[in-house]
Amino acid sequence: MLNHALQAVSVSSARILIVEDEAMLAYVLEELLIHDGFTIAGVAGRLEAALDIIATGNCDAAILDANLAGTSSAPAATALAARGVPFIVVSGYSPDQLQEVAFEGAIHLQKPCDINALTRALRGLLKPR
C-alpha cells in the first residue's frame, strides 16, 4: 500500500518525474504538463535512469509507465513509495493485468488516457492531506 504522506506542494512548484519508454509520448507528456503549470523533475525511459532521478529526492510526484521496453517499473514504484512520493501508473495494461504489489493502491490510468484526467489526478495527489 502506498504512503501518500506528501506535504502541501503548489502545482507551480510541483516537480513531476515522467517514466515512459516511448520517447514521443514522454515528450508530449512533458510539454503538456509544463503548459499546465507543472515543473518536470526529469524524464526517464529506462528503469535505471528513473531510479537515479528518484534517488536525488527531487520529485514530488511521478507518472510511471508500468512496462519499460519489457522491464517492469515496479522497482521505481517501490523507491517512490519508500520516499513517500505518490505516483500514477499509466499503462496499456488494465489494473487486473498488473500483478506487481508495488502498483497496489496507486491511481491507474489506461493508455491512451485523457490528459485532463491525468492532470486532475496529479493535482489530487498534490493536495494537502
- The answer to whether residue 47 sits within a structural domain is yes
pLDDT at residue 1, as a whole number = 34
Q: Which domain holds residue 120?
A: 12-126
pTM of the full predicted structure? 0.85
The predicted structure's pLDDT at residue 7: 40
6 occurs within a structural domain: no
Give, for 126, the enclosing helix (H) or strand (E). Answer: helix 115-126
Q: Looking at the DSSP assignment, which residues form a beta bridge with residue 65?
A: 90
- Say how many domains are in the chain: 1
> Angle at CA 13, nearest 5°, toward 115 and 63?
40
Q: Is residue 18 part of a domain?
A: yes
Q: Within a domain: residue 78?
A: yes
Cα torsion 37, 120, 111, 35 to 10°: value is -10
Looking at residue 104, which CATH number applies to its domain?
A: 3.40.50.2300
Q: Spell out the per-residue pLDDT of the chain, length 129, in tens.
A: 333 333 445 555 789 999 999 999 999 999 999 998 899 999 999 999 999 999 999 999 999 999 999 999 999 999 999 999 999 999 877 666 677 677 777 888 888 888 889 999 999 888 765
